[in-house]
Amino acid sequence: MIKPASRRLVLLHEQGKQRRKTLPRSELGRLDIVKRDPVDLIRIAAHSRVQALVGLRHSRMLASPFTFFRGSANLQASDLVRMPHTSLEFPICGDCHLMNFGGFATPERNLVFDINDFDETHPGPWEWDLKRLATSLYIAGQHLGHGDTGAEAAAHAAAARYQTAMKTYAAMGALELNYQSHTLQNLLKSLDDGVARDRLQQVIKRAQRRTHEDLLPKIAVNEGAVRKIRDTPPSVFHLFGASTLLAADDDWMRLTDWQTVIGGLYKKYRATLSSDRAAILDHFRMQDLTFKVVGVGTRCLVLLLVDEHDKPLFLQIKEALPSVLAPEHDRRPAYRHQGQRVVDGQRRLQSASDLFLGWSTGPSGRHFYVRQLRDMKVSANIETYDNTLLVEYAATCGEVLARAHAKSSGRAPEISGYIGKSDAVPDAMVRYARAYAGQAEADYDVFRSACQNGTLQVRSDEEFLLDVTA
């Protein structure tokens, strides 16, 4: 006799297979680009950012097609939303390129490998994340000089591991799935390649050193009884100091001091934490606040606090804008507070989230989310990866993404049923990645021309440094 639970899983699996009638798996490899001007979309994205940082953002995107692809998530999003999809929707990462994975410590201080950036998280079809991951791997393979064959191998590895992992997760119960994580120690044991093992061992050692206590003497000094963060323009500066990059007419500049900027924001943030975590936070007192320049060009603050033993805590307070996946003219958005959207998406997708993860509203009504800065966080140095290592990394990212989707959606049997056992979906993802890499290259050429002819503002790090120190 078949158990009711088994019958239900079979039914869900079959429902996933039936979706192939609406969207054949081969269609995932199709790319239809709606006519659009990438420069217009990049300009639109710049409107909501700190204007003094827009040129710096463009300069960093200009480095290569790979950096351009990473910095232009709204381009691919605008193309994805116009394509047919599986309609298996739930909170996804939204910007799932290969550099948005990394190692970090759980609240229990275990080092895990997981997705670590959720600025664009939003309900969407699972394949949008996998398409962006596969495309980023394809472009990275080309960028590293591995050729089309190496690039295809990396994209295929991610999709194939996603497929096999999703089948495994489809057979797990809700609690069993919730307890799944990819610790760096377990990844170390699973690696057969000696070079990969040595690289990961170095990553683990580096992560273990990246603590707040290690960071404190590197970026802060004592001024009497108070700790102060050093200005290191253009990367870090005090809002009301001589090195500020905020315009004189910026609405924050009317507040005159950093305590006014952070006061109400911090109180609202604390209210989003669970009572036990808020109690831990209450041991700390604020020391200093600075602006930290991040790649997306939005407002990002670093708050330094110390406890009664003078032990530090660094909090990153990052502005949250609407996701690039948010439907245009959406009258009933999934989230009215963008910080809460980021936090909820992160909690649903990650195996374990930051101890102090929360959200708040700052001066002038801007939305923010809060997490620890740097604490035992590391990312892959793919510039040094040969093709074997890139393929291994790609497969790991595919498995981690499958776990995140299975946990976030509770629909792993349906997704697995749609994907099936053959290479239909991995092969389709490779075709899509190859085609979109070509589109990204063409968009990059248009972007580069716009930067060269002055249509788009470009300011290098060196130029920024000269401006603020002149």
Q: How far apart are CA 420 and CA 184, in angstroms?
A: 29
Burial of 268 (0-12, 13-18, 19+ CB in 10 A): middle
pLDDT > 90 fraction of the chain, expressed in percent and rounded: 74
- What is the CB neighbour count within 10 angstroms for residue 219? 18
Q: How far apart are CA 346 and CA 352, in angstroms?
A: 9
Residue 387: per-residue pLDDT? 94
Q: Determine phi and psi for 176, rounding to 5 degrees.
A: -60, -40
Query: 4 pLDDT exceeds 90?
Result: no
Structure tokens at 168: 């495994």
Residue 188: per-residue pLDDT? 82
What does the pLDDT look like over 112-144, one tens digit per residue? 999 999 999 999 999 999 999 999 999 999 999
Lowest mean pLDDT among 72-76, 167-171, 190-194, 278-282: 190-194
| Range picked from 13-17, 201-205, 294-298 for highest mean pLDDT | 13-17
Beta strands in 8-94 (DSSP E): 89-92
Structure tokens at 282: 């209450």
Q: Are 151 and 139 in contact (CB under 8 A)?
A: yes
What average pLDDT does the segment 15-26 reach?
A: 96
Residue 325: per-residue pLDDT? 94
Longest dimension (CA), the chain: 81
Query: 75 pLDDT exceeds 80?
Result: yes
Of 411, 349, 416, 394, the closest CA to residue 163 belongs to 416
245 vs 370, residue with greater confidence: 370
Residue 368: per-residue pLDDT? 98
What average pLDDT does the segment 399-422 reach?
A: 97
CA-based torsion, 404, 405, 408, 412: positive or negative:
negative
What average pLDDT does the segment 54-77 reach?
A: 94
Structure tokens at 264: 């109400």
Q: How far apart are CA 460 and CA 458, in angstroms?
A: 7
Residue 398: per-residue pLDDT? 98
Helix (H) or strand (E) holding 42: helix 38-46
Provide the pLDDT confidence category of residue 445 given band limits of 50, 70 and 90: very high
Of 115, 67, 120, the closest CA to residue 91 belongs to 120
Mean pLDDT, the chain, whole residue set: 92
Q: How far apart are CA 292 and CA 371, in angstroms?
A: 14
Query: 248 pLDDT exceeds 70?
Result: yes
Residue 1: per-residue pLDDT? 42
Query: 175 pLDDT exceeds 70?
Result: yes
What average pLDDT does the segment 413-421 reach?
A: 97
Provide the pLDDT confidence category of residue 469 given band limits of 50, 70 and 90: low
C-alpha distances (whole Å) from 442 to each of 79, 147, 436, 437 are 14, 18, 10, 9
pLDDT > 70 fraction of the chain, expressed in percent and rounded: 96
Of 250, 193, 288, 230, the closest CA to residue 366 belongs to 250
What average pLDDT does the segment 298-324 reach?
A: 96
Query: 330 pLDDT exceeds 90?
Result: no
List the domain boundaries for the chain: 4-94+125-179+383-469, 211-372
Residue 328: per-residue pLDDT? 63
Residue 190: per-residue pLDDT? 80
* Cis-peptide into 107, omega within 30 deg: no
C-alpha distances (whole Å) from 319 to each of 101, 158, 346, 352 are 20, 31, 15, 22
Residue 470: per-residue pLDDT? 55
What average pLDDT does the segment 95-109 reach?
A: 93
- Give the N- to C-terminal CA distance of the chain in Å, as an integer: 81
Provide the pLDDT confidence category of residue 199 given band limits of 50, 70 and 90: confident
Of 370, 361, 372, the closest CA to residue 265 belongs to 361
Query: 53 pLDDT exceeds 90?
Result: no
What average pLDDT does the segment 392-419 reach?
A: 97
Query: 256 pLDDT exceeds 80?
Result: yes
Burial of 157 (0-12, 13-18, 19+ CB in 10 A): buried
C-alpha distances (whole Å) from 33 to each of 253, 372, 373 are 43, 39, 38
The single-letter code of the amino acid at 143 is H
Q: Are 129 and 154 in contact (CB under 8 A)?
A: no
Q: Are 107 and 207 in contact (CB under 8 A)?
A: no
Contacting residues for 344 by C-beta, under 8 A, at least 6 apart: 91, 121, 335
Contacting residues for 309 by C-beta, under 8 A, at least 6 apart: none
Alpha helices in 109-146 (DSSP H): 126-143
- What is the CB neighbour count within 10 angstroms for residue 257? 11
Q: How far apart are CA 349 and CA 76, in angstroms?
A: 21
Provide the pLDDT confidence category of residue 459 given band limits of 50, 70 and 90: confident
